[in-house]
Amino acid sequence: MKKQTAGRDALGSFAPKFAELNDDVLFGEVWAREDKLSLRDRSIITVTALMSKGILDSSLKYHILNAKNNGVSAEEMSEIITHLAFYAGWPNAWAVFRLAKEVYEE
């Protein structure tokens, strides 16, 4: 996994500790524990959590792209979103499908 700098890029001077925790702990330590859970599985879990909470912004799009890059196919992502629609809400599914369609058509 490549070194994460999104926190520092977006918030480095405004919230340096939060940026450090985002880049070095969340993405540097937690996501790096591939011996415990694969990047692919972590991506699926993260997309599920964000959709379930109704977080349908650019962070979700980033994690859908991350899932794609970690081996989740378009067909699998479609099935994941369809399954989640019954648990996380139909309107959320529509919103996530729009983002996923953009990501997988790129």
Residue 63's contacts (CB-CB under 8 Å, 6 or more residues apart) are 43, 46, 47, 50
Report pLDDT digits (tens) over 57-105: 999 999 999 999 999 999 999 999 999 999 999 999 999 999 999 999 9
**pLDDT of amino acid 1:** 60
Instruction: Give the model's confidence band at 4: pLDDT under 50 very low, under 70 low, under 90 confident, else very high.
Output: confident
Number of neighbours of residue 66 by Cβ within 10 angstroms = 19
Per-domain boundaries in the chain: 1-32, 38-105
DSSP 37: S
**pLDDT of amino acid 7:** 84
Pick the CATH number of 38-105 from 1.20.1290.10, 1.10.1740.110, 3.40.50.720, 2.30.30.60: 1.20.1290.10
What is the pTM for the complete model shown? 0.88
Report pLDDT digits (tens) over 35-48: 999 999 999 999 99
